Structure 1
Amino acid sequence: MWIFNPILKSTIWGGERIATYKGIATDLEKVGESWELSGVEGDESVVAEGNDAGMTLPALIDRYGASLMGHRNYEKFGNRFPLLIKFIDAREDLSVQVHPDDAMSQKYGMPNGKTEMWFVLDAAEGARLANGFKNPVDPADYETLVKSGEIENVLNFVEIKPGDTYFIPAGRVHAIGKGAFVAEIQQTSDATYRLYDYHRKDKNGNERELHTELAKEAVNFNDTDGNPVDYKRVENVPVNIVRCPFFTTNLLEADHELMRDYRENDSFVALIFTSGEAVVTCGEEKTPAHQGETILIPASAKGISIEPKGNVAVLETYV
């Protein structure tokens, strides 16, 4: 099992909740993102403790290979970790954006696109997200909608609360609104095309770049299926909240020991602790974890136990 140092990102729209949530200190202001598990080139996660402390995630995969990744994953991805896991704190609205799918990404020399999901950790009163369009949009109207800012009026905005879960396939226009605090699980890619950014200016007085043409190529103009995932929370029983070709995510909420059997699961598992604290046991190894931490379990693990101290909530994700 491994825990990694978070990669904190100061953003134009970031807030102050991430450091407090994770129980860490930072001198950064406007921390909008904490990259919890990343194989993105230039932003690779580094092991925080133990015998492998100081190793990057790709170097770790080099060392352990299929025993970490799983045989199928290792054959497909090599030492490129297939998921990017973040916490996002939006004090201001994020841009209206879209991510390319695998086909478009490979056309432009990138290995894959970006399908993702959000799990809402906290939400200020009135906080909202945009996920897809209210109704299909005519591509001929696209540039007018973007240039005028009217793109906001055709988006499917919904008010959010903790526990809400949203699936965002590549090609779906989306936006995180101010007051939202979410966990984000996605394919490993940093490809984001901004359609609209409220004419915000950076510290140098320049408006951030838009990617109007690339975004138009990426957008699915008929995508109106942006409602939250329908699931029922059940304590002490794993609940599936997202299953797609790129990852599976379960919600684990427990007040006593929870056993997980991974013998049929040929993949690493990431445990994202969204609240509470617990001790995770894997074989002879025991690792304490608390809210805001992410533990990586190797594919060679036959199973784990999670022993909560009180109540604990965990997102369990794998490929």
Structure 2
Amino acid sequence: MISSVPRPVVLPANQPRQFYRGGSAIAELRGVGDDRDSDDRDWGPEDWVASTTTRFGQQEAGLSRLPDGSLLRDAVRAAPQEWLGAEHVADFGDSTALLVKLLDAGQRLPVHCHPSDAFAQQHLGSRFGKTEAWIVVGTSGANPVVYLGFREDVAPEAVAHWVRTQDSSALLGSLNEIPVRAGDTVHVPAGTPHAIGAGVFIVELQQPTDFSVTLEWQGFLADAESAFLGMDRETALRTVNRSGFGDSALASLVKHTAEQSGPRVPLLAEEAAEFFLADRLHGSVELEPSFGVLVVLDGSGRLTAQGESLGLRRGQTVVVPHSAGAPALDGDLTVVHCRPPKKP
């Protein structure tokens, strides 16, 4: 039976199989090391945390389970105001309006983009598109980079030609290449062509869908049909923002927070706030009432809510319901706190 009074809970790993390699950084963070089968590490590059979202076209893959084996999605649907709060339910119904992932790119991801809310409503029957943001929590290799937006305006005919001929060099070469290190954050508006380079480990926040238009599918996906979300290529390519991203645009999307300290460090670009919120928390901090996700990056401590205490340690992920009130973190902890948007 699903409890009507949800409490903060540590979640088990949730790594639906993906088409690309990675996952060793997730295993290391979680402290499972060689206890896991190597194939799982190689093909578990994403851990979907507190997910009420399924993989595109799937019935259950991607959904998080609570420790008792029940689906978090079902628990939220059974008690939305307790999990999400009355104001959130008034705005978003029983949707958490948030998907959080740990993503460890063991290889470069393909160039792809995501639909906007308006496009998703018109063509995919969804209230949400897929704006996302990356919080870099680790890197490996000599040149950890991400790719974000075209450097210059690109004609629709050029994009269509690159996709039709699968010209990976032209696609990747047209994008801004951005070196990253732990503490950097990148906001990725819907429509922006992008890719994540090998060796980049992130906490990813996104709108709660699995919509990707894969521009560079050859060598990654089985065929072109799976690249366009069931749409024809011409329609799918309407999702692409072909505008050039100059220095000022990139500066508004990329933040460098590694040198910032204090109990609470806001992590994301200002324009991300209408989609999701994220802070890096250190030591003793009180959280405001909200549905949220905690990713413990380092240390150990406790989360106390409504008189009950939950022990925390590095590598754990926690879902926090609105009914927890104003929980308090204590101890030698570094935590990423992810939350859905607030309507102004």
TM-score (norm 2): 0.81
Contact 1:253 1:314 in 2 (8 A): no
Contact 2:184 2:257 in 1 (8 A): no
Q: 2:326 is aligned with what amino acid? A: G
What is residue 275 of structure 2 aligned with on the other side?
246
The SS at the match of 1:14 is coil
Equivalent-residue separation in structure 2 for 1:177 and 1:234 (angstroms)? 25
Q: 1:136 is aligned with what amino acid? A: D
Shift of 1:20: 2.3
Shift of 1:269: 2.1
Matched, 1:191 2:211: yes
Size of the aligned set, in residue pairs, is 304
Equivalent-residue separation in structure 2 for 1:231 and 1:183 (angstroms)? 14
Contact 1:271 1:317 in 2 (8 A): no
Equivalent-residue separation in structure 1 for 2:261 and 2:88 (angstroms)? 31
What is residue 145 of structure 1 aligned with on the other side?
162
Picking from 112, 118, 123, the partner of 1:103 is: 118
Matched, 1:289 2:299: no
Query: Structure 1 regions of 5+ residues with no counterpart?
Result: none
Equivalent-residue separation in structure 1 for 2:220 and 2:215 (angstroms)? 15
Shift of 1:29: 4.2
Picking from 90, 104, 119, the partner of 1:75 is: 90
The SS at the match of 1:72 is helix
Contact 1:70 1:299 in 2 (8 A): yes
Q: 1:229 is aligned with what amino acid? A: K
> 30-39 or 3-12, which moves further after superposition?
3-12
Q: 2:112 is aligned with what amino acid? A: Q
Q: 1:121 is aligned with what amino acid? A: V
Contact 1:14 1:33 in 2 (8 A): no
What is residue 26 of structure 2 aligned with on the other side?
18
Equivalent-residue separation in structure 1 for 2:261 and 2:162 (angstroms)? 45
Shift of 1:231: 4.4
Shift of 1:98: 0.3
What is residue 5 of structure 2 aligned with on the other side?
none
Shift of 1:9: 3.0
What is residue 301 of structure 1 aligned with on the other side?
324
State the percentage of identical aligned residues. 25
Contact 1:269 1:316 in 2 (8 A): yes
What is residue 153 of structure 2 aligned with on the other side?
136
Equivalent-residue separation in structure 2 for 1:240 and 1:301 (angstroms)? 22
The SS at the match of 1:143 is helix
Contact 2:292 2:337 in 1 (8 A): no
TM-score (norm 1): 0.87
Q: Which has the higher strand share?
A: 1
Q: Per the alignment, do residues 93 and 234 of structure 1 end up closer, same or farther by CA in structure 2, a change over 3 Å counting? A: closer
Q: Deviations over 1:109-131 (max 9, x none)?
A: 12310111101111122011011
Q: 2:335 is aligned with what amino acid? A: A
Equivalent-residue separation in structure 2 for 1:101 and 1:112 (angstroms)? 8
What is residue 34 of structure 1 aligned with on the other side?
47
Shift of 1:69: 0.3
Q: 2:280 is aligned with what amino acid? A: L
Question: Superposition pairs for residues 1-319 of structure 1, below 5 Å?
Answer: 1-15=8-22, 16-24=24-32, 25-27=35-37, 28-30=40-42, 31-41=44-54, 42=60, 43-48=62-67, 53-108=68-123, 109-124=125-140, 125-146=142-163, 147=165, 148-149=167-168, 150-197=170-217, 199-200=218-219, 206-207=222-223, 209-211=226-228, 212-222=233-243, 224=245, 225-227=249-251, 228-231=254-257, 233-242=259-268, 243-254=272-283, 258-262=284-288, 265=289, 267-308=290-331, 310-319=332-341
Contact 1:270 1:318 in 2 (8 A): no
Equivalent-residue separation in structure 1 for 2:90 and 2:244 (angstroms)? 33
Equivalent-residue separation in structure 2 for 1:138 and 1:7 (angstroms)? 40
Q: Deviations over 1:256-279 (max 9, x none)?
A: xx23242xx5x3122221222221
Q: 1:222 is aligned with what amino acid? A: S
